[in-house]
Structure 1
């Protein structure tokens, strides 16, 4: 019987910086993308339609780079790009914390979309594990419209950003689990927001109808793996899936929503 991996070990989570702060982009735009899940080709298409400039724009990823998608093993090359800034999702955390034998067993039965592991050498899998273990659990980005927080799942209801990040750095298991797997805020439709941060972008839970806003929290995950821009005008790009700006006044992505619906119905 295949069991779900155990609760995260705080010592593993604190091996590298748990919270990363990123200074303002002085020359280009900042985009945010939801759970990629190995759909790197789809993401590249969205970047092209957003006229993404790799010399000055930045791409922020709210976790779950691997599993389910056929391109998951390409995560090493993706993370090596200087314009990519990613945080850890629950799928990434599983890969980082499980042993090789466990991963191979789970891959052999395609548990939670891990089937791609069966085609990866031990050396490459170890390199992927190391790269994913280095991802922070939360990120704070300075933008022209204030500070933007990024976390894969959620900040616990009623907890402010400073307390949350402080507890993450201390290895608080409950906060880590909320950051990686929590869905209370969305399930309760709690719009109280998160104090201490201007806006918070999360993924984890699929939103077929586009970005879902709860206070200053934007739930931003599409099954196709593309999302929106956090620091620009939030425009659509020729009816194609586009990337939203972190600083867009209304981070919406209608063309991406249409693209996702087409994929869902195909």
Structure 2
């Protein structure tokens, strides 16, 4: 499994990131159409959680085959892999099903194995070169105050430390629950999802963009070159999702 992936400057088109998809690919396509996304030159980066909860999780393989679509591994991809490979007592499968993973449980074993392998191959972190500077993408949070330290740890540290860093990167909510504005050095911005918000929450240079498309909200797309959000952030609205699950 590759832990880290770097993308060089897109000289032909635009780069966007999108929040948690959770099996709502038709709704995602509508959001892309609304901003005039051009798959011939533009690229789309996902903060992970492509699957579970929504009705189209099985289409994840089709989307990951698109030459302009790239994703990090979220905690739901990790749960799907663990449920298939490391479930001697059934607990990992129960956790996955309780969090929307029943779609995969009902598939033939060979097909489940193909999905598990596909999701396991996603990197934990992505960085994208833009004309204005480097942008990092990770599912939940950057566990370090410095982006290069994080990418080194996720890729080159020992197995125990690497797994710990991966778990924090995929599961942590501490930055947003503490409303920490400290930010991450060594990178222009870090784009994350995981915690649903009514509109993007910008804490330091960390952009939380899971605006709950899977729970009745909408997809937020952020231009990595300009850091402009679509739809735009409304300064009059609180970002906190009052009915957060």
Interval containing the TM-score (normalised by the shorter chain): 0.7 to 0.9
1:205 partner SS: coil
Query: Which residue in 1 is equivalent to 2:240?
Result: none
Pick from 180, 183, 186: which aligns with 2:176?
186
Query: Which residue in 2 is equivalent to 1:253?
Result: 231
Query: Which residue in 2 is equivalent to 1:168?
Result: 154
- Measured in 2, the distance between the counterparts of 1:101 and 1:147 equals 36
- Measured in 1, the distance between the counterparts of 2:149 and 2:97 equals 37
TM-score using structure 2 length: 0.84
The number of equivalent residue pairs is 228
2:201 maps to 1:223: no
The one-character-per-residue Cα deviations of 1:225-251 (angstroms, maximum 9, x if unpaired) are: 59xxxxxxxxxxxxx966321122443
Shift of the 53–112 alpha-carbon distance from structure 1 to 2, 3 Å rule, reads same
Tell me, which stretches of 5 or more residues in structure 1 are unaligned? Answer: 1-15, 227-239, 259-263
TM-score using structure 1 length: 0.78
> What does 1:43-54 align with in structure 2 at a 5 Å threshold?
43-54=28-39
- Measured in 1, the distance between the counterparts of 2:204 and 2:112 equals 39
Pick from 188, 199, 205: which aligns with 1:198?
188
Q: Is the 8 A contact 2:45 2:70 kept in 1?
A: yes
Q: Is the 8 A contact 1:33 1:225 kept in 2?
A: no
Tell me, which stretches of 5 or more residues in structure 2 are unaligned? Answer: 238-242
Quote the offset at 1:255 in angstroms: 8.9
Q: Is the 8 A contact 2:79 2:96 kept in 1?
A: no
Query: Which residue in 1 is equivalent to 2:221?
Result: 243
1:113 partner SS: coil
2:207 maps to 1:207: no
Superposed CA RMSD: 2.7
Q: Is the 8 A contact 2:51 2:76 kept in 1?
A: yes
- Measured in 1, the distance between the counterparts of 2:209 and 2:165 equals 20
